[in-house]
C-alpha cells in the first residue's frame, strides 16, 4: 500500500449508498465521495460524508475514530485495509455530533469497545431530543437511533493497542462540552475531531456545551501537547486546504476564534445589538475561510455574543 489515495470502488458499489449504481459507474474515481487515505505507519483516514473518520489498521490492532453516518460507516468498515474477519479493538467518538456518531451502530457491532468522553452520551441524547426543533426528524425515532459509548473517561483514555499507543484526551469545553483529541503516538498522528474546521467557519454548539474561550485554550493546549512534527486530522476542511495539516493549522483556528471574540467584544462595547453583530458575512483578516452554509459566520458571531453577554456562573 502506498501513500496515494485509493478507492475501494467495489465496496462502495456493494453498499449502494450516496450514489446510485449507475451514477457510480459513470463517475471517474477522483469524483468518488469515498476515499481511504493512508497517512503514517498504520494510520489513515476515510472521507465520505460528515466528519473525517480516522483508522488504525495494524497487524496486531484495529481502531477507528468517529463513525459518520450508517450508510458511509458500512463503506468505511468494509474498506479499512486488512479488517476482514477481525474485531476492532476500540472505536472512539471525538464528540457527540450526528455526523461523527451516526454510524456508531455499525462500528459498535464490530468493536470490543465504543469510547467517548464522559459528557458525550448525555449530550448525544439531548441533541437527539432537540431534533424535533428541526421538524424533519421524529424525535422519538432520533432518540431510538442513538448508539452510545459503553466506555467513557473524564480526562484521558490511554491504551496500548498492539504496537501502537492510543490516547484520547479532553481539554475542557470547546466545540462542544465533550471534545476529545485522539493521538496515535507511534504513528505521530492526532485526530482533532471538530476542534479544527480547517479554514472554515465552524459550528459552535452552545446548547451542546461549547465555549469559544475554552476552545481557544483547548487549541493552545493541544498545540503544546503534541510533537512538533505531528500530523493532524481535522473533522472538516475547506476543500482547498483539506482535512489534514500541521500544528500551525491549529493556531490559525485559534486565531480565527480569538478574532471573532475580539470583534464581538468591540461591537458590544460600541452598543451594537445582536442582529447587527451577526449580519457580518466575512471575517476581516481571514480570506481563506469559507462558509459551508449560508450565514455560518453569523452563527459563530451570535454564539460569541451570547457567550460574552451570558451572566457569569
Query: What residues line the site for Zn ion (CB under 5 A)?
Result: 97, 194
Q: Which helix (H) or strand (E) holds 37?
A: strand 35-40
Determine the Cα–Cα distance for residues 40 and 73; give it in Å rounded to an integer: 22
Least gap, CB of 169 to Zn ion (angstroms):
17
Q: Which residue in the block uniquely carries the three cell numbers 475542557?
A: 172
Q: Which residue in the block uniquely carries the three cell numbers 496515535?
A: 184
Closer by beta carbon to Zn ion, 44 or else 177: 177
Least gap, CB of 194 to Zn ion (angstroms):
4
Least gap, CB of 41 to Zn ion (angstroms):
27
Determine how β-strand 53-57 pairs with β-strand 151-153.
Answer: unpaired
Which alpha helices (DSSP H) does the chain contain, by range?
9-15, 21-26, 70-79, 98-101, 104-108, 120-129, 139-144, 212-225, 247-269, 274-277, 296-309
Closer by beta carbon to Zn ion, 32 or else 244: 244
Least gap, CB of 152 to Zn ion (angstroms):
18
Closer by beta carbon to Zn ion, 24 or else 232: 232
Q: What phi and psi, each to the nearest 5 degrees, are found at residue 254?
A: -60, -45
**C-alpha dihedral (220, 198, 290, 295), degrees to nearest 10:** -60
Closer by beta carbon to Zn ion, 97 or else 183: 97
Least gap, CB of 192 to Zn ion (angstroms):
11
Q: The C-alpha cell of 265 is what?
A: 467584544
Closer by beta carbon to Zn ion, 164 or else 194: 194
Q: Which helix (H) or strand (E) holds 44?
A: strand 43-47
Least gap, CB of 208 to Zn ion (angstroms):
8
Q: What phi and psi, each to the nearest 5 degrees, are found at residue 180?
A: -125, 140
For the four alpha carbons of 245, 191, 205 and 251, in that order, the dihedral sign comes to: negative
Closer by beta carbon to Zn ion, 209 or else 245: 209
Closer by beta carbon to Zn ion, 79 or else 208: 208
Least gap, CB of 127 to Zn ion (angstroms):
10
Amino acid at each position: 500500500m502506498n501513500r496515494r489515495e485509493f478507492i475501494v470502488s467495489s465496496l462502495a458499489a456493494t453498499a449502494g449508498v450516496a450514489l446510485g449504481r449507475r451514477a457510480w459507474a459513470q463517475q471517474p474515481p477522483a469524483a468518488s465521495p469515498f476515499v481511504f487515505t493512508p497517512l503514517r505507519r498504520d494510520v489513515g483516514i476515510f472521507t465520505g460524508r460528515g466528519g473525517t473518520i480516522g483508522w488504525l489498521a495494524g497487524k496486531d490492532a484495529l481502531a477507528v475514530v468517529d463513525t459518520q453516518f450508517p450508510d458511509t460507516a458500512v463503506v468505511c468498515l468494509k474498506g479499512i485495509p486488512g479488517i476482514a474477519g477481525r474485531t476492532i479493538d476500540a472505536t472512539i467518538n471525538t464528540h457527540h455530533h450526528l455526523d461523527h456518531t451516526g454510524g456508531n451502530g455499525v462500528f459498535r457491532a464490530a468493536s470490543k469497545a465504543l469510547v467517548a468522553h464522559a459528557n458525550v452520551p448525555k449530550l448525544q441524547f439531548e441533541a437527539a431530543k432537540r431534533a424535533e426543533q428541526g421538524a424533519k426528524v421524529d424525535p422519538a425515532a432520533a432518540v431510538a437511533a442513538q448508539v452510545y459509548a459503553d466506555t467513557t473517561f473524564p480526562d484521558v483514555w490511554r491504551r496500548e493497542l498492539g504496537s501502537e499507543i492510543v490516547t484520547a484526551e479532553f481539554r475542557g469545553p470547546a466545540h462542544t462540552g465533550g471534545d476529545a483529541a485522539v493521538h496515535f503516538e507511534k504513528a505521530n498522528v492526532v485526530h482533532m475531531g471538530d476542534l479544527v474546521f480547517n479554514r472554515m467557519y465552524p459550528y459552535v454548539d452552545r446548547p451542546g456545551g461549547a465555549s469559544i474561550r475554552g476552545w481557544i485554550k483547548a487549541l493552545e493546549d493541544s498545540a503544546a501537547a503534541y510533537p512538533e512534527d505531528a500530523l493532524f486530522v481535522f473533522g472538516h476542511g475547506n476543500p482547498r486546504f483539506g482535512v489534514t495539516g500541521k500544528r500551525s493549522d491549529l493556531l490559525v483556528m485559534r486565531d480565527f476564534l480569538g478574532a471573532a471574540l475580539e470583534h464581538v467584544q468591540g461591537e458590544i462595547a460600541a452598543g451594537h445589538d445582536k442582529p447587527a453583530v451577526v449580519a457580518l458575512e466575512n471575517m476581516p483578516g481571514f480570506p481563506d475561510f469559507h462558509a459551508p452554509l449560508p450565514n455560518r459566520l453569523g452563527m459563530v458571531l451570535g454564539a460569541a455574543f451570547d457567550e460574552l453577554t451570558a451572566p457569569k456562573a
